Amino acid sequence: MSGHSKWSTIKRAKGVADIKRGQTFTKIANSITIAARAGGSGDPNSNPRLRTALEDARKVNMPKENVQRAIDRGLGKLPGQSLEEVLYEGFGPARVAYILEGVSDNHLRTNQEVKSLFEHSGGSLGGQGSVSYMFDKKGEIRVRTKGGSSEDEILELIDLGAEDVEEYTEDGTRMYLVYIESPELNTMSNKITQVGFALESAEIVYRPNTIVNIADSEVAKKVLDFTEKLEEHDDIQRVYANFDIPDELINSA
């Protein structure tokens, strides 16, 4: 499972508490604003990135007026602070590679804070391209099983055009991660729903092509703690990493 998706699963397995509600709303509002601006549309049916952001808003019961205000701001209908997307690359504990996507109203401040987090972890913030060669930019679609056999459903997804399909379990439900070339995200999402799968999310991700296997419990704890600190930063929207940690170490970390 890709580092980004693996971390999402680890958070649930470890019972890591969600960041405080106000911070969650701010992050999601910024994500909605950027998605609407980048996609040039407030229609989630034609803007997969916005659709994923709106699903995040729904999961935390974000008020509808907050959602609409964020969309309007992205489409230039409302005045407000100037937001810009930021991207960081670097190495954390055990030379695990990280790519961070964020949104900031002051990129100099954000850059210094992120740099400090890396340095305190024993790692280093790198320049553009320092770790991105270890990742492939892909479309990732999270799909819920229709209730059939894994083999049949995976073959069906591949026949629809999936490059790769990973199976995993979430809250006792069988799920699939479907990977495709990023320009095909919207087309593939529509194909998947048309054949009866329930689509949980669709987004562009950085999928690691080089994996760092962690076999030591102390190192695993350092990696997980650092990853959690990155996610808790106000301006960081997505954390991608190339670590792989066995379940037994996750439970003891």
The C-alpha angle with vertex 18 and arms to 139 and 81, in degrees rounded to 5, equals 70
Task: Report pTM.
Answer: 0.81
Residues 49-65 pLDDT 10s: 888 888 888 888 889 99
Please provide residue 227's backbone torsions phi and psi, each rounded to the nearest 5 degrees: -60, -40
Considering the domain 84-133+210-252 in this protein, what is its CATH number? 3.30.70.980
Q: Is 221 exposed, middle or buried (0-12, 13-18, 19+ CB in 10 A)?
A: middle
Tokens found for residue 243:
């670590």
The two domains 14-74 and 84-133+210-252 share their CATH topology (first three levels equal): no
| CATH code, residues 14-74 | 1.10.10.200
User: d(Cα 118, Cα 64) in Å, to the nearest integer?
Assistant: 36
* Higher local confidence (pLDDT), 173 or 10: 173
What residues does each domain of the chain span?
14-74, 84-133+210-252, 135-208
Tell me the pLDDT tens digit for each residue of 79-124.
766 788 899 999 999 999 999 998 888 899 999 999 999 999 999 9
Residue 52: per-residue pLDDT: 84
* CATH classification (class only), 135-208: alpha beta
Q: Does position 235 have pLDDT exceeding 80, yes or no?
A: yes
Of 130 and 22, more confident: 130
